[in-house]
Amino acid sequence: MLARIELFRAVDEATRTRIAEQAVARVYERGQLVFLQGAPSDRLYVLAKGAVKVYVTSRGGDIVELVRHHAPTVIGMVGLLDGTHSTTAEALERSTLLVIPRSELMGLVRSEGPVAEALVRALGAIARRTFQQVTDLAFLDLQGRVARQLLNLAGGGARTRQVTQGELATMVSGARQTVNQVLRSLESRGYIRAAGRAFEILDRERLEALAEQ
């Protein structure tokens, strides 16, 4: 499984086996926290099965969801490097994670050039995602942010991953009632169609236009 993750893809099989032997497998049920914003961090989490959402919480208790991770991938990378989690991670479904000690990863970074390069690329991807979210908040109205998030949730497909309207509201930094109104508007214009806890993308071109305004 580690061979499918960019961070470990370039190391040899013996090294991946050693990492797997050092890791501890933990199972998290839906709604269980993997780590908490502000808590100390001394380990990396490999999401082997399931899905996890990552979000930040304001002092007033407001939540903004930053990203949803689906296996296989790594999470908690920024916290691992600076020693403190800047976000909270919560299991969206029953999920299995491998917990790798910081000492093991730092040893790899020092001894394996490809691992260090992959780590830099992963941090760059986090920075790009954060920049995009800040840009969206600054320049896109709520309708545009909802359109972009629906496209993100759908990937290249015609149907989004399952998401509640409340969860969607935390992703786009909007009030739930207002987001519901935007969704109804998009549906009435034939851009999307509700399908249980997911949405079908009916007019990708017009959604993309809204997401670029």
Please name the helix (run of DSSP H) or strand (run of DSSP E) that holds residue 9, with its range, or none. Answer: helix 6-9
pTM above 0.75, yes or no: no
Q: What is the pLDDT of residues 58-68, one digit of tens each?
A: 888 888 888 89
- What size, in residues, is the chain? 213
Query: What mean pLDDT is predicted for residues 76-89?
Result: 89
Lowest mean pLDDT among 26-30, 82-86, 109-113, 207-211: 109-113
Q: Quick one: angle between helices 142-154 and 176-188, nearest 10?
A: 70
* End-to-end CA gap in the chain: 40
126-169 pLDDT, tens digit each: 778 777 877 777 778 999 999 999 999 999 899 999 998 889 99
CB 85 within 8 A of CB 37: yes
Question: Nearest 10 degrees: CA dihedral of 128, 130, 132, 138?
Answer: -150
Q: How many CB atoms lie within 10 A of CB 80?
A: 22
3-state secondary structure of 60: coil
Q: Report the pLDDT value the prediction gives residue 116, as an integer from 0 to 100.
A: 77
> Could you tell me what percent of the chain has a pLDDT over 70?
100
- 64: nearest Cα among 147, 130, 154: 130
Beta bridge partners of 46: 74, 98
Q: What is the mean pLDDT of residues 88-117?
A: 86
pLDDT of residue 5: 83
Q: How far apart are CA 81 and CA 69, in angstroms?
A: 19
CA 32/CA 16 separation, integer angstroms: 28
Helix (H, G, I), strand (E, B) or coil at 157: coil
Q: 161: which DSSP letter?
A: P
Residue that the structure tokens 């013996």 belong to: 14
Q: Which H or E run includes 64?
A: strand 63-70
CA distances from 160 to 30, 62, 181 (A): 19, 25, 19
The dihedral built from the CA positions of residue 103, 109, 115 and 118, taken in this order, carries a sign that is positive
pLDDT band at 47 (very low <50, low <70, confident <90, very high): very high
Over residues 80-96, mean pLDDT: 92
